[in-house]
Amino acid sequence: MTGSVTVRRQKVRRPRRRYKLACLLMLAAALLLALLFIERLCPYDPNAQVFAALEPPSAAHPAGTDRLGRDLLSRILIGLRTSVLSSLALVVVTAAAGSAAGVLSGYFGGLADSLLMRIADVCLAFPGLVLGLAVAALLGGGLHNAMLALAVVSWPKYARVARSQTLALLRTDHMAAARLAGGSAPQLILRHILPNCAGPLLVTAMLDIGAMMMELAGLSFLGLGAMPPTAELGSMMSGGRSLLQLYPWVVIGPGIAIFAAVAFFNLLGDAARDWLDPQNSGGK
Amino acid sequence: MRQIKICIRMLAAACLALCLLAGCGARMKAGAEESAGDVFVFGDTTFNAENEEPDIDPHNAYSGWACIRYGVGETLFRYTDTMEIEPWLAADWEQADALTWRITLRDNITFSTGRPLDGQAVKDCLTHLIRTHDRARNDLQIDAITAEGQTVTIVTQEPRPALLHYLSDPYSCIIDMQEGVSEEGIVSGTGPYIAQTLVTNERLELVRNEAYWDGTPGFDRVTVLSITDGDTLTMALQSGEIDAAYGLPYTSYPLFQNDEYVLASAATSRTFFLHMNFQSPVMQDPAVRQAVAMGIDKERFAGELLDGNGEAASGPFPAGFALGGDAVSAKAYNPDGAARVLEAAGWVDRDGDGIREKDGRRLTVRWLTYPSRQELPLLAEAAQYTLGEIGFEVIVNATADHNSIRTDSSAWDVYASAMVTAPTGDPAYFFATHCLDGAVANNGHYHSDALEALAAELSVTFDTARRAQLAARMQQIILDDDAFVFCAHLRMTMVCRSDVTGLTAHPCDFYEITAALRPAK
């Protein structure tokens, strides 16, 4: 009973998955919209150092104040925007660059394919965060440099997926037919390959958002990400770690925010995978 | 079968928990035995190469601080609690003329090697010091040293009114040069403890000097651990891994304000201050320097952000020192005034982005500082906000690599550091090391003809009242030029377990591990 899925259960599950994904997408859209106008939700200027330092949560400051006397709720909200939008931008750029590399590599093959895949092999040979740390240290601190560092180490997985999909598609009958019909390389790639690769790449990208958020926060925690006074959840946690025993709210607020954001985007990624990945449709 | 599996899993979990508890228990017990016995473990954030204290050789950079702090070396003279000079290894002294000083040494003092301390030993040590240590050579200006029995005669190249102060500086620790300096940087002194092993940036192991001349040291062994991270230091003290700590973050102090610990504090001349880079185009504008001086809220930094563990500074010396506090007048925090100064100088925000511009150049200040003094990044962020409010863009670079960056004048505009401005108790030290032409820490290449002239006069003036006058005028010159901005003086605090006595904080910040340190029993 445990290993089998009845037709009836499959039928019940697909609409449920659709609703789940739709709900999560609506929530994500609402979240993004809110983040774009987050300043209006902030009770105070997130950089204003005008309050007493290390005040515990109160009606005036629901998340307390930090070591410099800044309102933590305002900084958490702005930090959330920094983390989410940076992660989304990073994933979009990385996925686009990696996918392009993978598709071109798979389609044309030859020397370009070998070269790109060997570079990808080198990137994959190192633990991602360690290589990211090295690149970020080389580039210097700053959020943009941290994003660049993560982009450098993250593109190979998209390239691998795109290349394998492309190679599989090239062997299909409809691709052969498209070629016989006189389709040029750009036409074949844009009309036939990319649309058929989109599903797996989208699933990979959506599952990657939470991971990217964690890695960006990790680099900021280590001092290689956002620079002061930029509010970013990782750097806020890093700045507050020495205060954990006596002033825990300085770390707990940003910690909860990053946990919630990462959990939400992981759920969204899972839902997208359940919906888009046909191989997973009969899963548990 | 399933129940058996569950039982096995629970048993494994219980064993694991038991092992963890046993491990913790053993560690705590070991710590308890150490503190109750005769081993003292001291954690220090500043004993490391980054802080120019890679070893305990007083003739190397600032390692003399480690030599004297950890009870290995002693100087001919030392400071009292009120920062007056008193003989230490010396028994007496006299000044024969403006250039000649005759110092008589105490009898019956031996180095840890067994060699008696006599005039020749002191001569060997000081000769080596001035040959190898630039700062000492500039300070002492020794022309000749002669030794005869227990007497040392020092002749200076020019009158040195502060010679005895310089002979109290940690670099003047008297060490046995016949024994020399080991590869690790270990030396033999006359102090209550003898260094046995040293690993730079890691640890120093000391044993009791059984032949110590001034009492019996209280511990058989002392271990000094280099722990650069303040949080790690805090947790090491909490867990019992160390018995006392220097350099704890002030936010940790409440954790130790109970019967298990004792906090020893002293107002010192450790000062958080800014060096303006006179080779930076933007800082060459007097209006910009003035605006920076008026744009830093020192009172809030000292009172609110340091939580009262410091006091707002006017000049280089704190209120407790002669010439400190109100002896000089500094620019008060006045953001509106600073904005007017900038406006008058042509710095105006034309594009409405909040940053002022002049001749197409944005008012950007690159703020260099370092994290090993944990309050410095805090000062940087506080200044970033207050200066930002008046139209500056402040880019903070808080890096452990500051010592190499600050030598490159093109890489920074403002350098924030925390230095002891009067370790010798004499005001000349600060000017000689930070403000004058060729001074080793004149990072901003500041120059003032008036200051140079007064410094020349100060260096040959013995009259105390006149020295005070000169030093006050010199302070005012650097403040009026906005060459330096003095933000706060920090209270130095050490935290020690209450079952240990004798660890006291001293205003000069030199004396920590002494013969008086012992178990409370």
B87-121 pLDDT tens trace: 999 999 999 999 999 999 999 999 999 999 999 99
pLDDT band at B33 (very low <50, low <70, confident <90, very high): very low
Set of chain A residues whose Cβ sits within 8 Å of the Cβ of B386: 49
A128-139 and A194-221 helices cross at what angle (nearest 10)?
70
Q: How far is B483 from chain A (nearest CA, A)?
A: 26
Q: Is the Cβ pair A67, B305 closer than 8 Å?
A: yes
As to burial, measured by CB atoms within 10 angstroms (0-12 exposed, 13-18 middle, 19+ buried), residue B252 is buried
Contact by Cβ (8 Å): B380, B369 = yes
CATH topology of domain B29-260+498-521: D-Maltodextrin-Binding Protein; domain 2 (3.40.190)
Give B419's contacts (C-beta < 8 A, 6+ positions apart): B270, B271, B273, B434, B441
Average model confidence (pLDDT) across chain B: 91
Per the CB < 8 Å rule, is A242 touching B230? yes
Q: What is the pLDDT of residues A79-116, one digit of tens each?
A: 999 999 999 999 999 999 999 999 999 999 999 999 99
Helix axes A194-221, A143-170, angle to 10 degrees: 150
Tokens for A127? 């633990």
Question: What is the rounded CA–CA span in Å between residue B398 and residue B410?
Answer: 16
| Mutation to test the A interface, candidates B385, B397, B399, B405, most A Cβ within 10 Å | B385
Give the chain B residue nearest A48 (alpha carbons): B385
Quick one: pLDDT at residue A168?
93
Q: Is residue B320 exposed (0-12), middle (13-18) or buried (19+ Cβ within 10 Å)?
A: middle
Residue B508 CA to residue B78 CA, distance in Å, equals 10
Q: What is the dihedral of CA B108, B113, B117, B121, to 10 degrees?
A: 170
Q: Please give the DSSP secondary-structure letter assigned to residue A39.
A: G
Q: What is the pLDDT of residue A140?
A: 80
Please give the Cα distance from B426 to B321 (Å, whole number): 10
The residue with greater pLDDT, B198 or B30, is: B198
| Mean pLDDT of all residues in A127-156 | 87
* pLDDT confidence of residue B403: 85
Does A144 reach chain B within 8 Å, measured CB to CB?
A: no
pLDDT digits (tens, 9 = 90+) for B346-357: 999 999 999 999
Which of A44, A54, A245 to mutate against chain B (most B CBs within 10 Å)? A245
Neighbouring residues of B491: CB distance < 8 A, sequence distance ≥ 6: B265, B266, B267, B268, B309, B310, B311
pLDDT digits (tens, 9 = 90+) for B190-224: 999 999 999 999 999 999 999 999 999 999 999 99
pLDDT in tens, B426-449: 888 899 999 999 898 999 999 999
Q: Taking 90 as the threshold, does the pLDDT of residue A183 lie above it?
A: no
Q: Cβ–Cβ contacts within 10 Å for residue B65, how many?
A: 25
A4-20 pLDDT, tens digit each = 556 556 556 667 778 88
Q: Return the percent helix, strand and coil in chain A, to nearest 5.
A: 75, 0, 25
Which among A69, A241, A242 is the nearest to B304, CB-wise? A69
Amino acid at A55: E
pLDDT digits (tens, 9 = 90+) for A227-243: 889 999 999 998 888 88
Asked if B381 is an interface residue toward chain A (Cβ–Cβ < 8 A), one would say: yes
CA-closest candidate to residue A161, choices A86, A273, A282, A270: A273
pLDDT score of A54: 94
Contact A228 B388 (CB under 8 A): no
CB B367 within 8 A of CB B380: yes
Res B464 pLDDT > 90? no
What mean pLDDT is predicted for residues B333-343?
97
Contact indicator for B254, B248 with CB cutoff of 8 Å: no
Contacts of B382 in chain A (CB under 8 A): 49, 68
pLDDT digits (tens, 9 = 90+) for B241-267: 999 999 998 889 999 999 999 999 988
Residue A100, token pair as written in the block:
């392009």
Listed by start position, the domains of chain B span: 29-260+498-521, 268-491
Whether B49 contacts chain A with CB within 8 A: no
Interface size between A and B, measured as CB pairs under 8 A:
52
User: Quick check: B32 pLDDT over 60?
Assistant: no
Label residues B256-281 b or e (16+ Cβ within 10 Å = b): beeeebbebebbbbbbbbbbbbbebe
Q: Residue B36: which pLDDT band, with cuts at 50, 70 and 90?
A: very low
Are B468 and B476 in contact, with CB atoms under 8 Å apart? Answer: no
Q: A211-214 — which CB contacts under 8 Å span 24+ positions?
A: A212/A87, A212/A90, A212/A91, A212/A94, A212/A150, A212/A154, A213/A83, A213/A84, A213/A87, A213/A258, A213/A261, A213/A262, A213/A265, A214/A258, A214/A262
- pLDDT tier for residue B505 given thresholds of 50, 70 and 90: very high
- The overall average pLDDT reported for chain A is 89
Give the per-residue pLDDT at A132: 84
Q: What integer pLDDT is reported at residue A113 of this predicted model?
A: 92
B234 to chain A, any CB pair closer than 8 A? The answer is: yes
Q: Which two tokens stand for residue B101?
A: 């000083």
Q: Which of A238, A234, A229 is nearest to A258 (CA)?
A: A234
Verify whether the Cβ–Cβ distance A47 to B378 is below 8 Å: no
Which amino acid, B259? D
pLDDT tier at A284, thresholds 50, 70, 90: very low
- Cβ–Cβ of B230/A243 closer than 8 Å? no
Mean pLDDT of B144-157: 96
Residues for chain A: how many in total? 284
Least confident of A251-260, B325-334, B411-420: B325-334
* Statement: residue B151 has pLDDT above 90: yes
* Predicted pLDDT of residue A108: 93
Round to whole Å and give the CA distance between B147 and B118: 8
A68 touches chain B (CB under 8 A): yes
* Alpha-carbon gap, residue B62 to B170, rounded angstroms: 8
Q: Which CATH superfamily is domain A75-280 in?
A: MetI-like (1.10.3720.10)
d(CA A213, CA A233): 10
- Domain formed by B268-491, architecture: Roll (3.10)
Does the CB of A246 have a partner CB in chain B at under 8 Å? yes
Non-local (6+) Cβ contacts of B436 within 8 A are B442, B451, B452, B455
Please state which of the ranges A250-259, A271-280, B482-491 shows the lowest mean pLDDT. A271-280
CA distances in angstroms from B87 to B77, B79, B513, listed in the order given = 4, 9, 19
Residue B18 has a pLDDT of 60
Tell me which chain B residues have a C-beta less than 8 angstroms from the C-beta of A245: 234, 252, 255
Q: Would you call B251 and A52 a contact, using CB atoms and an 8 Å cutoff?
A: no
Amino acid B289: pLDDT: 97
Label residue B25 by pLDDT band (50, 70, 90).
Answer: very low
Q: How far is CA A125 from CA A105, A120, A206, in A?
A: 19, 9, 23
The DSSP letter of residue B315 is: S
Q: Which helix (H) or strand (E) holds A78?
A: helix A72-108
Count Cβ atoms below 10 Å from residue A186 Cβ, excluding itself. 8
* Neighbouring residues of B89: CB distance < 8 A, sequence distance ≥ 6: B74, B75, B76, B105, B106, B109, B117, B174, B190
Look up residue B345 and give its DSSP letter: T
Tokens encoding B470: 């000169």
pLDDT band at residue B20, thresholds of 50, 70 and 90?
low
- State residue A125's pLDDT score: 87
DSSP-derived 3-state class of residue B42: strand
Strands B414-420 and B261-276: antiparallel
**Is the separation of the CB atoms in A98 and A197 below 8 Å?**
no
Rg of the Cα atoms in chain B: 26
Residue B414: name the closest of B271, B275, B273 by CA.
Answer: B275
Spell out the SS3 assignment of B233-246. HHHHHHHCCCCEEE
Contact B396 A69 (CB under 8 A): no
Residue-level pLDDT at A11: 59
More confident residue, B48 or B34: B48
CA–CA separation, B204 and B48 (whole Å): 11
